[in-house]
């Protein structure tokens, strides 16, 4: 990533709107704890409360997150504007700060690589004792490496349960990021299963996890695409496990087709072409027949129109 800023005042005005931009100017003197990293800019802004702001430059533009009420609704708020303006005031020093951040990152990596096993173990235990979330994540990975299969399945599905994050039965934008961080641990656990010789279990649990998230996806505000990334991670973990364990080709074809025909594919990016080595000739033929049948029988209108469209799309894939 370039060390120069990729945005200016006009970009901040466009992202926030004229009213929030003007209000952000008034908060410029309230910005503190400004930190410039390789990719992100973080700061606190003293408003009605003390708010945490994070700006991130991407190849296609700038995004901002703030924990103020307006920011939690997904808006580029006045506090984000204030931090952006503060950075623009010292834009000449940005390359130096970003270079320093990169240097610290390399230094940390080198330091960790030169620690002994005992030193690293002591460091991990120290952080586990102080960070409950970290402990829970590592406990899950330990279970994936050798725990009870049914208990592990329940723990993974619990990570995808939206109820702790849902307000009135819906996960709002303000809570979606926290839910996404938790749900991403399910992907890590599934990959650990495969890496530790339990790919057959990973296939079954991944299918349950994909379907669980697909059913909940319509009740989540995924404006940032965070949950979609988790869904695609689950799909990738399923494919990885299939490539290792080589499950029954026809049963795998049935699950893949059913997943689409039940309209559960809107959250994931499952492409049958990637399963060619898993399905082989028997599975490919099964998928073709399963997809072709409903397309031939179902009219193009009415309550089953979506299934008809999905079915025809799948038939087109297999008849190319």
Give one DSSP letter per residue of 112-167, joined into a string: HHTS-HHHHHHHHHHHHHH-HHHHHHHHHHHHHHHS-HHHHHHHHHHHT--GGG-B
- 184-204, pLDDT tens digit by residue? 999 999 998 999 899 999 999
Neighbour order of strands in the sheet with 61-66: 31-36, 40-46, 50-58, 61-66
**Residue 293: what pLDDT?**
63
Q: Alpha-carbon distance 199 to 258, whole Å? A: 22
pLDDT digits (tens, 9 = 90+) for 39-81: 899 999 998 889 999 999 888 789 999 989 888 878 899 999 9
Same domain (yes/no): 147, 90: no
Distances (CA, A) of 208 to 88, 110, 227, 238, 300: 48, 40, 16, 10, 30
How many domains does the chain fold into?
3
220 and 144 part of one domain:
yes
Q: What is the pLDDT of residue 5?
A: 81
Task: Provide mean pLDDT across the span 9-28.
Answer: 94
Question: First vs last Cα of the chain: how many Å apart?
Answer: 40
**Cβ count near 107 (within 10 Å):** 10
Q: In degrees, to the nearest 5, what angle opens at C-alpha 66 toward C-alphas 60 and 70? A: 105
Residue 120 belongs to a domain:
no
Residue 223: what pLDDT? 83
Verify that 286 and 303 share a domain, yes or no: yes
| pLDDT bracket for residue 301 (50, 70, 90) | very low
Instruction: Report the half-sphere exposure of 312 (CA within 13 A, side-chain side).
Output: 12
Pair (103, 191) in one structural domain: no
| 180: nearest Cα among 261, 271, 65, 53 | 65
Average pLDDT score over residue span 204-228: 90
Separation between Cα atoms, residue 252 and residue 271, nearest integer Å: 13
Last residue of a domain, one of 245, 264, 288: 245
239 and 146: one domain?
yes
User: Do residue 201 and residue 257 come from a single domain?
Assistant: no
Domain boundary (109, 126, 157) is at: 109
**Res. 83: pLDDT tops 80:** yes
Q: Is residue 128 in a domain?
A: no
- Three-state SS at 55: strand
Residues 176 and 241 in one domain: yes
Considering the domain architecture, whether residues 17 and 88 belong to the same structural domain is answered as yes
Tokens standing for residue 148: 């009870």
Q: In the predicted model, is pLDDT for residue 131 greater than 60? A: yes
**Structural domain contains residue 269:** yes
Which residues constitute the domain of residue 151? 136-245
Please state, in angstroms and rounded to a whole number, the distance separating the CA atoms of residues 158 and 209. Answer: 10
Q: For the beta carbon of residue 309, count every other beta carbon within 10 angstroms.
A: 14
Domain end (from 245, 265, 292): 245
Are 235 and 140 in the same domain?
yes
């Amino acid at each position: 990533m370039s060390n120069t800023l990729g945005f200016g005042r006009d970009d901040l005005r466009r992202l926030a709107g004229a009213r929030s931009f003007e209000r952000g100017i008034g908060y410029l003197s309230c910005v503190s704890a400004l930190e410039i990293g390789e990719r992100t800019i973080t700061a606190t802004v003293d408003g009605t409360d003390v708010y945490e702001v994070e700006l991130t430059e991407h190849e296609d533009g700038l995004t901002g997150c703030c924990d103020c009420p307006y920011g939690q609704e997904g808006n580029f708020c006045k506090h984000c504007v204030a931090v952006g303006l503060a950075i623009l005031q010292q834009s000449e020093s940005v390359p130096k700060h970003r270079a320093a951040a990169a240097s610290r990152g390399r230094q940390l990596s080198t330091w960790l690589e030169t620690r002994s096993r005992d030193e690293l173990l002591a460091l991990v235990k120290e952080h586990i004792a102080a960070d409950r979330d970290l402990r829970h994540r590592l406990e899950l990975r330990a279970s994936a490496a050798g725990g009870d299969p049914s208990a592990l399945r329940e723990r993974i599905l619990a990570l995808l349960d939206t109820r702790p994050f849902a307000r009135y039965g819906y996960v709002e934008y303000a809570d979606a990021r926290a839910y996404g961080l938790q749900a991403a641990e399910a992907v890590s656990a599934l990959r650990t299963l495969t890496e530790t010789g339990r790919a057959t279990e990973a296939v079954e649990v991944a299918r349950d996890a994909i379907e669980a998230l697909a059913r909940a996806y319509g009740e989540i505000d995924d404006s940032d695409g965070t949950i979609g990334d988790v869904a695609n991670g689950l799909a990738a973990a399923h494919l990885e496990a299939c490539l290792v364990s080589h499950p029954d080709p026809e049963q795998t074809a049935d699950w893949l087709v059913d997943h689409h025909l039940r309209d559960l594919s809107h959250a994931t990016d499952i492409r049958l072409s990637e399963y060619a080595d898993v399905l082989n000739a028997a599975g490919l033929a099964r998928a073709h027949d399963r997809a072709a049948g409903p397309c031939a029988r179902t009219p193009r209108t009415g309550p089953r129109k979506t299934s008809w469209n999905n079915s025809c799309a799948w038939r087109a894939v297999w008849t190319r």
